[in-house]
Amino acid sequence: MIPHGRQTVRPLPFRIQVVSVAHVHAHPLGSVQEWLGRRGDRKGAAMARTKYAAFRAADYLDDDEVIAEFLTVAAEDENPDVLLAALAEVAKARGMARVAADAGLGRESLHKALAPGAHPRFETISAVLRALNVRIELHPLTPTHGA
């Protein structure tokens, strides 16, 4: 539990991998800068707004080794939506239409299969992985001794 003012906030059971600033909703009263500006506070009115570009993992997924490592880390997360989001980012980097065609899917079907909360069949995930030129390797969680 993390104390937050008078409330106690529970940490999320998963990590948020990608954050898009474009989807953040505005506060109903406006920003602090706007509020200070309306009050006539000269400092508030003169404050410059910092603009941030939305982070797109697809912009950095330009190498097969990087893609394989990115998907490996995502697959290790307990939340299955993390792997779906990672696959979607890699598909965007490679071209969603091209990956869909290589996987034998329609572009819209690929979008639906990789959406958060989707429950795609193993065959679909396997086809997408083949289209992305990666494969699944399984390893024991703990090494076995003397077997």
Q: Residues 111, 80: contact at Cβ < 8 Å?
A: no
Q: What is the percent of the chain with per-residue pLDDT over 90, rounded to a whole number?
A: 44
Indicate whether this model's pTM tops 0.95.
no
Domain ranges in the chain? 2-46, 57-131
Percent of the chain with pLDDT over 70: 66
| Mean pLDDT within 123-135 | 95
* Residue 24: pLDDT over 90: no
3-state secondary structure 34-103: HHHHHCCCHHHHHCCCCCCCCCCHHHHCCCHHHHHHHHHHHHHCCCHHHHHHHHHHHHHHHCHHHHHHHH
Q: What is the pLDDT of residues 30-40, one digit of tens each?
A: 554 554 555 55
What digits encode the pLDDT tens for the residues 73-90? 999 999 999 999 999 999
Q: pLDDT grade, residue 29 (50/70/90)?
A: very low
Q: Give the pLDDT band (50/70/90) at residue 57.
A: confident
